[in-house]
Structure 1
Amino acid sequence: MEAGMIFALAMLISIAIAPVYGKYYSQTVTPSSKVEKVTRLHFFLHDILSGENPSAVIVARANLTKKGDSVLPFGSLVAIDDPLRVGPDPTSEIIGNAQGLYLSASQDASKFTIVLYADLAFTSGKFNGSSFSIFSRNPVLEADREVAVVGGRGKFRMARGYAKIKSSHFNATTGDAILDYKVTLYHY
């Protein structure tokens, strides 16, 4: 057989087989009768930009001609691996960590706001191996603020809810902060 004939035959066979493997699959499942749970959590997130072993680092900064006095000027992107602790003391027990990013999103330094994406995971206790995700605007200078919980995994699967945040400690020179989180989660 000629090479062109073999190729044509191979194409014909693959076209004939493709519909068998290309069928769309769908299945509708009735939700189980599980009852929605409400979990309330209280912990402290330690976001440390200074020192030899920071838990937050600036990974990008906008090339601005006008530099502000802020530690995190508009357009700064920060990667975090912040410890979650039972208290505001830096030596209090670690119960998890928050990993993600935040972006300095306000041009007006007097209204310093970040957009936060973070997965807050627990590494001890009854929620060990579970986490919930935040994706929200966070007006940092407001005394009381609220961010949205948009998902979860483990014991917090299908989570939604909110976190109320207060600054327990904030150093404007270094950008270091200890944040008091009170979280309400709705999950199954």
Structure 2
Amino acid sequence: ISFYLQDLFFPTPGVNVTTAIVLPGTNNATMFGMVAIIDDKLTEGPSIDSKLVGRAKGILAFDSISNISLLASITLELEGRDGNINLLGQNRALDPQREISIVGGSGEFRFVQGFATLRTHSLE
């Protein structure tokens, strides 16, 4: 399964906000302490206007004072699929490639386990 997660963390005015910052954090450089709730689009391609294939919903907590790193608890809801995939783990957002644990699922994804590979396509 391959898709693009459209995380609009600091969107421009007029753009549909998909992230709510619950706590602002204490460190401007690494966002340490920031907690956010997400309801992000999953799209077929890198453009936010690409075909919607699902949503990513969950909690992000920035957990490092030395780099941009966050603890992520995310549920992937995929269009046309019966069930969800659950992700949990640390995401060092500026690393070119990273892995996060797939810790379970529901429906057709029941008992799923493994890892997901994450890559940042662009930061704007």
Q: Fold match, TM over 0.5?
A: yes
Match for residue 122 of structure 1? 78
Q: Distance in 2 between the 1:78 and 1:160 partners?
A: 25
SS state at 2:108 partner: helix
Cα distance, 1:170 vs structure 2? 1.0
**Which structure has greater helix proportion?**
1
1:138 aligned to 2:74? no
- What RMSD, in angstroms, separates the aligned Cα atoms of the two structures? 1.3
Match for residue 18 of structure 1? none
SS state at 1:68 partner: coil
Tell me, which stretches of 5 or more residues in structure 2 are unaligned? none
Q: Computing the radius of gyration over CA atoms, which structure comes out larger, 1 or 2? A: 1
Q: How does 1:12-91 map to 2 (within 5 A)?
A: 41-49=1-9, 50-51=11-12, 52=14, 53-62=16-25, 64=26, 67-69=27-29, 73-91=31-49
Aligned-pair identity in percent equals 26
**Which structure has greater strand proportion?**
2
2:58 counterpart (75, 97, 100): 100
SS state at 2:3 partner: strand
SS state at 1:155 partner: helix
Supply the AA of the counterpart residue of 1:48. Answer: L
Q: Which 4+ residue blocks in structure 1 deviate beyond 3 angstroms?
A: none
Q: State the TM-score, normalizing by the size of structure 1.
A: 0.61
SS state at 2:28 partner: coil
Q: State the TM-score, normalizing by the size of structure 2.
A: 0.91
Supply the AA of the counterpart residue of 2:34. Answer: S
